Amino acid sequence: MSTTILIPSLEPTANFPRLLAELRQLTDDPILIVDDGSGPAYQSVFLELAKIKNTTVLYHQTNLGKGAALKTGFAYHLEHFPHSAGIVTADSDGQHHPADIVALTRLIRPNERVLVLGSRHFTRQQTPFKSYWGNRLTSVIFYGTTGISCHDTQTGLRGLPQEIIPDMLEIPGTRFEYEMNVLLNLTKYHIVIHEMPIATIYLDNNSGSHFRVVRDSLRIYQPILSYILSSLSSAGLDIILFTLLIKLFFTNHSWTSLLLATTFARLLSGCFNFFLNRHVVFKSQGKLHQEAGKYLLLFGCQLLLSWLLLQGFSQFSNKLIPLKIAIDFSLFCLSFMIQRRLVFR
């Protein structure tokens, strides 16, 4: 059973034809190239590549982005290779060794919901500054917000079994952020990660990459940042409401006063957080009553924990606001991971 090798390309360097020549020596699997609007200056390059055995070139008239190019390839693959094992995506800038690409094709099982990632091992001495710190930061944030360990969140070498490719067409994003969105939607589509170690290659300090550090980094981090900002804004509203309540209405700081202040503040901030997460952050299409029920259960557990911890620590300190902030900051991280995995799917 064959596996399609899908390579999106924009204004390819001389490394790309060499990559394809080496690939063709190692495998007879179909190769699918998407020219993402490189323009007339590169037309001759793609025409030559199309002459390679079992190689197809698709064209975008204008630059639509890496995510759009991948989706174009996915749609073509599903139509023309319905009985394939799946797809391996790779970059055209020479960062992926042909042997690693071929090795990844052999790990794909068509009916498994496993995303196979070609993961690089980064060292400060051998990795360009922006790539080294970008990957480290993204991996830490990704784990903190999803609870999923992924050593190389920005790898473009990925193996997708045939089973999950239709799901890939539903995931939002048209540019570099698309690949991060895929990882963020793993739980929603019941997909697990398997990482395969690969060589770490940066040619000419990664000069062949079209990654724009500021603009594309914001696109990649936007989904994660929106999750964090949603939780922080809800936590901030909760703190403000709690502060007003204990200063204006529940001034004796008894356990019942703390419970009532915590409950009222959390009810209002919880409603705000639910609708913000459902409609803005997760853009959930699930049934409202089911998601509301699960959120309410989580909400109640978090409320009880917040009150119990606040009540316990207040025996040692009367600085309730700092205590409240510390407790809720710890709980919101746990709450977010549960929402991501179990509530909004």
Question: What confidence score (pLDDT) does residue 224 get?
Answer: 65
Buried b / exposed e along 89-120 (16+ C-beta atoms within 10 A): bbbbbbbbbbebbbbbbebbeeebebbbbbbb
Which residue type, as a one-letter code, is found at position 52?
A: I
What is the band of 8 on the pLDDT scale with cuts at 50, 70, 90? Answer: very high
Name the segment(s) of the chain with CATH classification 3.90.550.10.
Answer: 3-211
Nearest CA-CA partner of 58 in 8, 2, 114, 123: 8
Lowest-confidence segment of 1-5, 41-45, 189-193, 248-252 by average pLDDT:
248-252
Give yes or no for residue 334 having a pLDDT over 90. no
Mutual orientation of helices 129-146 and 320-338 as an angle, nearest 10°?
Answer: 90
pTM: 0.73
Instruction: Name the CATH code of domain 3-211 (choices 3.40.190.10, 3.40.50.1000, 3.90.550.10, 3.20.20.70).
Output: 3.90.550.10
Give mean pLDDT, residues 30-50.
96
Q: What is the pLDDT of residues 91-137, one digit of tens each?
A: 998 889 999 999 999 999 999 999 999 998 866 666 666 667 767 77
Give mean pLDDT, residues 192-205.
81
